[in-house]
Structure 1
Amino acid sequence: MASGKQDKAKGAANQAAGKLKEAAGKATGSGKTEAKGKAQQVKGGMQKGKGDAKESHKKQR
């Protein structure tokens, strides 16, 4: 199981990759690539949230 810091890092990476993919989709006029980029950003946000929750829970112990 990944630690909170690992989840946060993976989430940030997914968000960054999603932004690039979305921009590439806009630049090429590919709605499909743009949508995939937006979805990847959402996934990254959820991963970061999971990491934050793990870290918060760890601090409360």
Structure 2
Amino acid sequence: MSKSKAKAKQVKGKMKEAAGKAMDDQGMRAEGRAEQAHGQMQEAASKVADRARRSGR
């Protein structure tokens, strides 16, 4: 997954968390936080893959 898609997932999660907070919906807030974390992991994996490609491994 590209870094831009991972960032988009993080933003979507942030919006979902904010909506859950506004509606006092703990489940939606938790989903938003989980989506943000998933996006962060995907972004980190993409960075590692980029570094590996650049180093020729």
Q: Cα RMSD between the aligned structures?
A: 0.8
Superposition misfits of 4+ residues, deviation over 3 angstroms: none
Report the TM-score when normalising by structure 1. Answer: 0.87
Residue ranges of structure 1 left out of the alignment (5+ in a row): none
**CA positional deviation for 1:10:** 1.5
Structure 2 residue 15 is the aligned partner of structure 1 residue 37:
no
Cα distance in 2 for residues equivalent to 1:9 and 1:52 = 11
Report the TM-score when normalising by structure 2. Answer: 0.93
Identity %: 36
Match of 1:13 among 4, 8, 15: 8
- Name the amino acid aligned to 2:8: A
Aligned residues: 56
